[in-house]
Structure 1
């Protein structure tokens, strides 16, 4: 059975307590795990530690932390500490993010993203084993590092994100899971072939690689308002987050829409960019409308072959009331 998880929002929350409260509510409603993406809001480590303090059963995880703003050894230390602090409920999601974040926000050169992700997985696993880390990679070098405390038991599993064929192949070959973001159903199916190829190259069973589909959702009695919020969200990602999501959408057969949304956004025509997310594209990428409509659309995504979990996410402009209504509308049965 496909699990239902939740992406805590990084925007439009007045306080850390508000963010944590959404995770507490998700536990009450039966969601399996609360993910926290680290972008321009609060840092993921503090937020997840606070959530672990106020919950008992719900899993916690990063989706994602990038592989440039922290060293690989520090990511390993952090994973070990959050696993200890949460009583074994932590799962690490990491990935390279994109140039807009890495170069624009963190001042790091966005080079060798796939190799860097592979080497981070290697080093983090080594750290979590409790062994001394002596690693001489193409990107990552570490000498003489070892945890001073006992390693976590069990070690947290490591997921990676990926949108292009080679990135998804890497997930299948080396990671414990793959996070799919900004995909249509057909786009997800296409990338599953890359995941299987990666698993074959790593002499692994693809069924052991947990797939999580991050699905933008907005469920309100006023279905058109919900759809407007979701349109704004998708237009921002395609048009305003560099070329990363634009290119991913184009690879899925939506080249014209991707280029139109991106160009309009970059030219400052943001209202027109939002309008360029037509109904077909909105429904292909998310679940937005009345609660009944959204529940049915989520079930359709969950029925995808090869999918293990859906992560319900929210429009970036969603206020606490919109988030709570959506959480409740699509809560696990």
Structure 2
């Protein structure tokens, strides 16, 4: 862990005008002093091509996937890709992996959402073997590989491989097998509970939790128009709970918001998105992120950074924000 949390930029998950737009966000984040630019991968632009463009047109900011799912690429290809991105970025890569969910894996990629935790573990194992440059010999429950090694030179510095997770078992897996954990959709108290799961996983793997990096993706929108900021945050939360499978709803239920989670998901499923957004209370909104004026967002951001065990807090702007609102939020919450 670092001496104090770094401040990262989580590039927008929603569609943007162009790859150049995403590169411009990363360049702005670099100028503002953010430590790393993370990019998600859903059903828009792929993360690898976009990160390559960012790496070529920035100088110092770290880059990373948050997250690349473990179904749409083979574990060996993930290892090859990590080696290549580490070369292109001159050592600035960190890899975030996870199973995503059925909406993406089955609905977009046409793959069976089978054994997500086991697949994540084996993917981490194999990607590490590929990155080592040694011959890959692996006899897993899902993958059996033998006979080949990376054809190019392996990276001088191996990129860290983090696992994403919201539930106890997935976070335990991160602690036991990955180099770090990507946290999301968590209240401060929920985050502390999952940090206990991370430590349990580290103990099971005979590792020190202090050697693992914890990155929190925190929904943030800081605008002079406070009501606009909070409406964007409500829309973002309702979409994820209502449209992206059961994982986000279950995460809220575990954290004491069962009735609201069910209502948000039910209204969205019924096609009443306005009612779904209205079901997001102010309390829930403020428990899961920060939305409001720049001054109040800066104050509340510091509360999240103060949580013991968190190494980086990513400024993650809601999906409906336009480019000016994204830039305004990054500027408002830039490292001092």
Instruction: Give the TM-score normalised by structure 1.
Output: 0.99
Give the Cα separation in 1 of the matches to 2:195 and 2:119.
22
Distance 2:260 2:6 in 1: 31
- Secondary structure class of the residue paired with 2:59: coil
Give the whole-Å Cα distance in 2 for the aligned partners of 1:139 and 1:116. Answer: 7
Matches within 5 A, 1:229-248: 229-248=232-251
Task: Determine whether 1:264 maps to 2:237.
Answer: no
Map of 2:61 onto structure 1? 58
| Whole-angstrom CA distance in 2 between matches of 1:16 and 1:49 | 11
Q: Conserved in 1, the CA contact under 8 Å of 2:15 and 2:44?
A: no
- Among candidates 99, 102, 112, match of residue 102 of structure 2: 99
Structure 1 segment 162-201 matched on structure 2, within 5 A: 162-201=165-204
Deviation readout 1:261-293 (Å, 9 max, x if unpaired): 000000111100001111000000111000001
Contact conserved, 1:173 with 1:201, CA < 8 A, in 2? Answer: yes
- Within 1, Cα distance between the matches of 2:331 and 2:273? 31
The 2-side partners of 1:150 and 1:313 are apart by 35
- 1:56 aligned counterpart, secondary structure: coil
2-structure distance, mates of 1:246, 1:157 = 29
Give the alignment partner of residue 28 of structure 2, picking from 25, 28, 38.
Answer: 25
Residues 12 and 318 of structure 1 are in contact (CA less than 8 Å); yes or no, is this contact kept in structure 2? no
Deviation at 1:134, TM superposition (A): 1.8
Shift of 1:96: 0.5
Return the match for 2:46 from 43, 48, 53: 43
- Determine helix, strand or coil for the equivalent of 2:215: strand
Give yes or no for contact 1:6–1:34 (8 Å, CA) kept in 2. yes
Q: Distance in 2 between matches of 1:197 and 1:279?
A: 33
Unmatched 5+ residue regions in structure 1? none
2: CA distance, partners of 1:65 / 1:56: 23
CA distance, structure 1, for counterparts of residue 291 and residue 15 of structure 2? 19
Tell me, what secondary structure is at the counterpart of 2:320?
A: coil
Match in the other structure for 1:331: 334
Q: How far 1:145 moved relative to its partner?
A: 2.5
User: Is 1:312 aligned to residue 315 of structure 2?
Assistant: yes
CA distance in 2, matches of 1:317, 1:143: 46
Match of 1:68 in 2: 71
Q: Name the residue aligned to 1:159.
A: 162
2:71–2:111: 8 Å Cα contact kept in structure 1?
A: yes
Q: Shift of the alpha carbon at 1:10? A: 2.7
Q: Please state if 1:8 is matched with 2:11.
A: yes
Please give the alpha-carbon distance, in whole angstroms, between the structure 2 residues aligned to 1:11 and 1:199: 34
How big is the alpha-carbon RMSD for the aligned residues of Structure 1 and Structure 2?
A: 0.7
* Contact kept in structure 1, 2:181 and 2:212, CA below 8 Å: yes
> How many angstroms does 1:3 deviate by?
0.5
Aligned pairs, number: 333
Aligned to 1:205: 208
Of 220, 223, 229, the residue aligned with 2:223 is 220
Q: What is the match of residue 80 of structure 1?
A: 83
Aligned match of 1:141 in 127, 144, 160?
144
Check whether the contact 2:233–2:285 (CA below 8 A) recurs between aligned residues. Answer: yes
Aligned equivalents of 1:140 and 1:69: distance in 2? 15
Which digits, 9 at most, give the CA deviation of each residue in 1:287-315, with x for residues without a partner? 10000011111111111111111011111
* CA–CA distance in structure 1, aligned partners of residues 15 and 292 of structure 2: 20
Distance 1:235 1:160 in 2: 24
